[in-house]
Amino acid sequence: MNLELANRVVLVTGGSRGIGKEIVERLVNEGALVAFCARQSSALKELASKIIKSGKNCLAIEADIFTTNGVKLIVEKTIDHYGKLDVLVHNAGGTLARGSFCDISDEDWMDTYNRNVITLVRLIKTAQVFLEESNQARIISISSTTAVEPGSHDPHYSAAKAALLNLVKHLSNSLASKGILINSISPGPVLTESLTNFIHELSNKSSEPNLDFKKTYIEMMKSRIPLGRLAQGTEIADLVLFLASSKSGWITGSNFRIDGGKTRGI
């Protein structure tokens, strides 16, 4: 299937590692003109160098998009470099604090909401005027299955991701008349560096640190997924590419769950 992404300008937040990196690489391979940002300059430069050595084009921007100035910077640099913007992929988010309800401070709640929701608000307010000039404008936001089926930990994160789904649905109504389609993707467990770090944190807190905690924990996660495995970042990236393409022209305000069947609800 020809997704017709060649020469379309795509801005990806949180694009240097994990799912974001897979999204950037898949877009570049499809011929898109990709700008991507991250705060860690080493990972950012490493990916940019890899892409350029392969003969492809990209723009790597070091910025903290959890700030107003950071959002303004990445949009301005993208427009200065490519002259337009067709697709915005909001992948950055997450949380710095992990734990149960009583472990999470008020500050942690506010910070996580800012990272996952307010950042998207700022991005769209800043980028909308440029997206309106595109004949195939798309916004894609990465949420999580915990938005609709939270677990026993990180309630601030699942609540923020739920708010993200609501915001995307609202914006699908207000942006439709401007020709901008917006959708969200809710991945289940994906085997990334972030997940590995989380398991390592749990291992340090475990009362049985001598056990192979990582292997045991991953096997437990797999047992809850009907397909019996964790996702690869490329599988999330493929769905992003479809939603960014000309083939998704009558899809807006939708949330796409990609979780191997893990979520039990309809």
Write the CATH number for 70. Answer: 3.40.50.720
Distance (Å, whole) CA 103 – CA 262: 26
Q: Please check whether residues 81 and 143 belong to one and the same domain.
A: yes
Instruction: Tell me, yes or no, whether 124 lies in a domain.
Output: yes
Q: Please check whether residues 248 and 197 belong to one and the same domain.
A: no
Q: What is the mean pLDDT of residues 191-200?
A: 74
Q: Please check whether residues 35 and 119 belong to one and the same domain.
A: yes
Distance (Å, whole) CA 218 – CA 237: 22
pLDDT in tens, 198-215: 777 766 666 665 558 778
Instruction: Tell me, yes or no, whether 266 lies in a domain.
Output: no
pLDDT for residue 110: 98
Distance (Å, whole) CA 247 – CA 2: 9
Q: Please check whether residues 34 and 144 belong to one and the same domain.
A: yes
Instruction: Tell me, yes or no, whether 4 lies in a domain.
Output: no
Q: Please check whether residues 76 and 182 belong to one and the same domain.
A: yes
pLDDT for residue 70: 98
pLDDT for residue 191: 82
Listed in order, strand segments (DSSP E) in the chain are 9-13, 33-38, 58-62, 87-90, 137-142, 180-187, 255-258
The answer on pLDDT for 222 being more than 60 is yes
Q: Please check whether residues 196 and 181 belong to one and the same domain.
A: no
pLDDT for residue 206: 65
* Summary mean pLDDT of the chain: 94
Structurally, the chain folds into a number of domains equal to: 2
Instruction: Tell me, yes or no, whether 2 lies in a domain.
Output: no
Q: Please check whether residues 63 and 152 belong to one and the same domain.
A: yes
β partners of residue 185: 142, 256
The answer on pLDDT for 8 being more than 90 is yes
Q: Please check whether residues 62 and 110 belong to one and the same domain.
A: yes
pLDDT for residue 212: 81
Q: Please check whether residues 35 and 151 belong to one and the same domain.
A: yes
Q: Please check whether residues 208 and 225 belong to one and the same domain.
A: yes
Structure confidence at residue 168 as a pLDDT band (50, 70, 90) = very high
Range of the domain at 201: 191-230
The answer on pLDDT for 6 being more than 70 is yes
The reported pTM is 0.94
Q: Please check whether residues 214 and 84 belong to one and the same domain.
A: no
The answer on pLDDT for 9 being more than 90 is yes
pLDDT for residue 205: 67
CA nearest neighbour of 240 among 65, 40, 59, 20: 20
Instruction: Tell me, yes or no, whether 1 lies in a domain.
Output: no
Q: Please check whether residues 135 and 209 belong to one and the same domain.
A: no
Instruction: Tell me, yes or no, whether 140 lies in a domain.
Output: yes
Instruction: Tell me, yes or no, whether 197 lies in a domain.
Output: yes
pLDDT in tens, 13-33: 999 999 999 999 999 999 999
pLDDT in tens, 33-54: 999 999 988 999 999 999 999 9
